[in-house]
Amino acid sequence: MRPLEGIKVITFEHAIAAPFCTRQLADLGARVIKVERPGTGDFARNYDERVHGLASHFVWTNRSKESITLDVKRPEAMEVVHGLLADADVFVQNLAPGATQRLGLDYESLQARYPKLIVCDISGYGLDGPYRDKKAYDLLIQSESGFLSITGSVGEPAKAGCSIADIAAGMYAYTNILAALIERGKTGRGRRIDVSMLESMVEWMSYPLYYAIDDQTPPKRAGASHATIYPYGPFKAGDGKTVMLGLQNEREWKRFCEAVIQRPDLAADTRFCSNSRRVENRVELGHLIDQAFSSLTARQVIERLDEASIANAQMNDMQAVWAHEQLAARKRWTRVATPAGEIPALYPPGLGHEDGPRMDPVPALGQHTDAILQELGYSEAHIHDLHQTGAV
């Protein structure tokens, strides 16, 4: 039995944050019914066509769900919504600010009617405050949260290459829902969960925030290198390939000098005798490391680092990640169905094939509409009429 088997989730979701949250719930066995707009659906369906004609964002965040199309501006469609909510455990939404209030689907409206329902609102800035109505997309929250101020190269900010603010909000929504389900098991009552992308990202920014407390200088942008630990980042080997390495303490620094760059004299050099001094003199030290690596291939550098027990990594591109031998050895890949055929998918972290996580198909738009309506007791004639009027 999967952990969330028997849990029913109704979601009014689009883009990444809410779909990523509910996919985690589906992975654990929850039944997730995704309500979409007739004709167009979740706009993330049309972000690109890279996955055999389907959008990369959508196939990543929407497997194992059921899709029903409803025009919620029509009263007959809202009757269906309340039919779905009648025995639901969780309602998740990340619509535009104020949308659920206009539909009567905000927590205050739902609480009396469904006292056991857990209502999770995911938004850019939260349900109140002066920023409540501002539009919020991932890159904008990366900027607002201070992430861009410390990410990138000197004089040139850079966004994260994945939707980090959406992912942060989705994961906090997911974990809060799990906690709320445990709480409801004790109290019998549902609750409201108010997750904002801004607060999720600011929580993840807490090391740089504390580093800059009391108006101290914040971490400087350092490209792919660590801003406050050195050496910790990318270094070029003699064959032009890049090796990532990281030192964490003075014991490792001594081993690095002796066994890796073979300059034992640098271990006691006052310019580099502590992490703070190495950061202060990172340009000079970087030249010395580059000089030591210039006669070695990347493979030889990694061999020396491994022998010295110095942390290191390859700078893989996407193709190398698909073929990563560690993921293959641990059997982390499976395949899921989509409307365009099967695609590879990574098992959820923490779960393996022996745990039986749900790895069900990515739904086509409205694929489950008729089946869900039949389950709610609608006759074939009634379902036909709903289609004819555009309600579904």
**In-domain check, residue 211:** no
Whether residue 69 is found in the same domain as residue 187: yes
Whether residue 284 is found in the same domain as residue 179: no
Last residue of a domain, one of 294, 315, 336: 315
Whether residue 301 is found in the same domain as residue 382: no
Whether residue 56 is found in the same domain as residue 175: yes
pTM score, two decimals? 0.93
Q: Work out how many domains the chain is built from and give that number.
A: 2
Whether residue 13 is found in the same domain as residue 130: yes
Own/partner pairs for 72-80, CB < 8 Å, 24+ apart? Answer: 72/12, 72/35, 72/103, 74/389, 74/390, 74/391, 76/386, 76/389, 76/391, 77/386, 77/391, 77/392, 78/103, 78/104, 80/373, 80/376, 80/386, 80/391, 80/392
Whether residue 247 is found in the same domain as residue 100: no
Whether residue 81 is found in the same domain as residue 119: yes
Q: What is the pLDDT of residues 313-333, one digit of tens each?
A: 989 999 999 999 999 999 999
Angstrom CA distances, 315 to 241, 261, 292, 298, stand at 9, 20, 20, 11
Burial category of 262 from C-beta neighbours within 10 Å (exposed 0-12, middle 13-18, buried 19 and up) = exposed
Domain of residue 367, residue span: 8-204+328-389
Whether residue 256 is found in the same domain as residue 352: no
**In-domain check, residue 188:** yes
**In-domain check, residue 382:** yes
Bridge-based pairing of strands 118-123 and 152-153 is unpaired
Whether residue 34 is found in the same domain as residue 63: yes
Last residue of a domain, one of 266, 289, 315: 315
The DSSP element (H or E) to which 144 belongs, if any, is helix 138-144
List the chain pLDDT tens, one digit each, 392 residues: 899 999 999 999 999 999 999 999 999 999 999 999 999 999 999 999 999 999 999 999 999 999 999 999 999 999 999 999 999 999 999 999 999 999 999 999 999 999 999 999 999 999 999 999 999 999 999 999 999 999 999 889 999 999 999 999 999 999 999 999 999 999 999 999 999 999 999 999 988 999 999 999 999 999 999 999 999 999 999 999 999 999 999 999 999 999 999 999 999 999 999 999 999 999 999 999 999 999 999 999 999 999 999 999 989 999 999 999 999 999 999 999 999 999 999 999 998 888 889 999 999 999 999 999 999 999 999 999 999 999 99
